[in-house]
Structure 1
């Protein structure tokens, strides 16, 4: 029996996809918590790991991909809301702000997912934690800013003849 696709329903760049990626990232970072910006930046590094001399990127190296950092935040917020509603992520509110942490259900859930894409996400998330997990916020933000600077340079180069 062939699978019927519903018109207007997309999985790519959806809250579901971003939520699962965030869940994988938080699981790899457990028990640490991450704020929204660190999650957004980590999400970029996990799927574009080749941009920082890491393993081959999971997503293709499309031109101007650094611009994804500008649109990724809203999608990830929606994904976090979805994962929160399923009890897979905890939101922690403190005097320092809002952070997110994988719940006790996160690892068993992630471990139950068996697609090649998920396996690559788990590998890249572990690599990102090993490579960048000990960076303080300022050092990590400087790394991400270097991508934004590169994107700005690429964008300005498009207008030149």
Structure 2
């Protein structure tokens, strides 16, 4: 199966995550990032501006798919130093750094 896609590829997802981390300037876990990424794409559903992606029936199911695709995209950016990974006794967290801001 060819996994190359134009939409929701690791660069697009990682860029959105970088934007979220830069805007919020705090550490977030994977579940937080999944929900915030979903809210960013479907902002109209949350009282915001028009959605970035067209609203499809049952698009709420995308949350489960995002939970699977975000780790690879985030890891792609962590390996390149654009996003920082923090590990402590309460779990794994991601945050922005000076390179995230430069990238964004």
**TM-score interval (norm. to shorter):** over 0.9
TM-superposed CA distance for 1:55, in Å, is: 1.4
Q: 1:77 to 1:8 in 2, by over 3 A?
A: closer
Q: 1:22 to 1:8 in 2, by over 3 A?
A: closer
In structure 2, C-alpha distance between the alignment counterparts of 1:8 and 1:88, rounded to whole Å: 23
Alignment of 1:26 onto 2:21: yes
Residue 101 of structure 1: SS of its match in structure 2? strand
Moved over 4 A (4+): none
Alignment of 1:46 onto 2:30: no
In the TM superposition, what whole-angstrom CA distance separates every residue of 1:79-105 from its partner, at most 9, and x where no partner exists? 101100110000000111110001211
TM-score, normalised relative to structure 2: 0.92
Instruction: Calculate the aligned-residue CA RMSD, in Å.
Output: 1.4
Runs of at least 5 residues in structure 2 that lack an aligned partner in the other structure: none
Residue 34 of structure 1: SS of its match in structure 2? coil
More helix per residue: 1
Residue 84 of structure 2: SS of its match in structure 1? strand
1:64 equivalent in structure 2: 58
How many residues are aligned here?
103
2:10 equivalent in structure 1: 15
TM-superposed CA distance for 1:8, in Å, is: 6.3
Q: 1:64 to 1:102 in 2, by over 3 A?
A: same
Q: Which has the larger radius of gyration?
A: 1
Runs of at least 5 residues in structure 1 that lack an aligned partner in the other structure: 1-6, 111-161
In structure 2, C-alpha distance between the alignment counterparts of 1:42 and 1:21, rounded to whole Å: 10
Alignment of 1:83 onto 2:77: yes
